[in-house]
Amino acid sequence: MEVKRNVLLNPGPSTTTDTVKMAQIVPDICPREKEFQQIMAPMRRDLVKIVHGGDDYTAVLFCGSGTICIDIVLNSLLDEGKKALVIDNGSYSSRAAEVLTYYGLPFIDLKQPIYTKPDLNVIEQTLKENSDIGYVYMTHHETGSGLLNPIREVGALAHKYDAFFITDTTSSYAMIPINVYEDNVDFCMASAQKGIMGMTGLSYVIGKTSIIEASKSFPKRSYYCNLYMQYEYFEKTGQMHFTPPVQTIYAAKQALIEYWAEGEEAKWKRHQRIMAAIHEGEEKLGLKEIIAREDQSGLVSAVKYPDDPNWDFDKVHDYCYERGFTIYPGKIEKQGTFRLCALGAIDAPDIEDFWKVFREALEVNGVQIPVRYED
Ligand SMILES: *Cc1c(COP(=O)(O)O)cnc(C)c1O
Structural domains in the chain (count):
2
Cis peptide before 329, with omega less than 30 degrees from 0? Answer: no
Give the DSSP H or E segment for 252: helix 246-262
Per-residue pLDDT, 180 = 98
Average pLDDT, the chain: 97
Residues 144 and 31 grouped into a single domain: yes
Instruction: Name the residue range of residue 324's domain.
Output: 264-364
Give tens-digit pLDDT for 56-87. Answer: 999 999 999 999 999 999 999 999 999 999 99
- Residues 88 and 95: beta-carbon distance below 8 Å: no
- Residues 303 and 338: beta-carbon distance below 8 Å: yes
Determine, yes or no, domain membership for 373: no
Nearest CA to ligand 1 atom 6: 66
Angle between helices 313-322 and 348-364 (to 10 degrees): 130
Strands 133-139 and 107-111: unpaired
Mean pLDDT of 325-349: 92
Which of 170, 178, 331, when mutated, tests ligand 1's pocket best, judged by the most ligand atoms within 8 Å of its CB? 170
Nearest CA to ligand 1 atom 5: 66
The rounded Å distance from CA 364 to ligand 1 centre is 34
Nearest CA to ligand 1 atom 3: 66
The residues lining ligand 1, judged by C-beta closer than 6 Å to any ligand atom, are 11-12, 65-67, 92, 139, 143, 168, 170-171, 191
Position in ligand 1 atom list of the atom nearest CA 12: 1
- d(CA 103, CA 239) in angstroms, rounded, equals 27
Give tens-digit pLDDT for 276-307. Answer: 999 999 999 999 999 999 999 999 999 999 99
Sign (positive/negative) of CA torsion 363, 364, 366, 372? negative
Mean pLDDT of 125-132: 98
Residues 173 and 294 grouped into a single domain: no
- d(CA 58, CA 44) in angstroms, rounded, equals 7
Q: How many CA atoms lie within 13 A of 261 on its CB side?
A: 6
Determine, yes or no, domain membership for 93: yes
Q: What CATH number is associated with residue 299?
A: 3.90.1150.10
Residues 323 and 248 grouped into a single domain: no
pTM for the complete prediction? 0.97
Angle between helices 264-285 and 246-262 (to 10 degrees): 90
The rounded Å distance from CA 192 to ligand 1 centre is 11
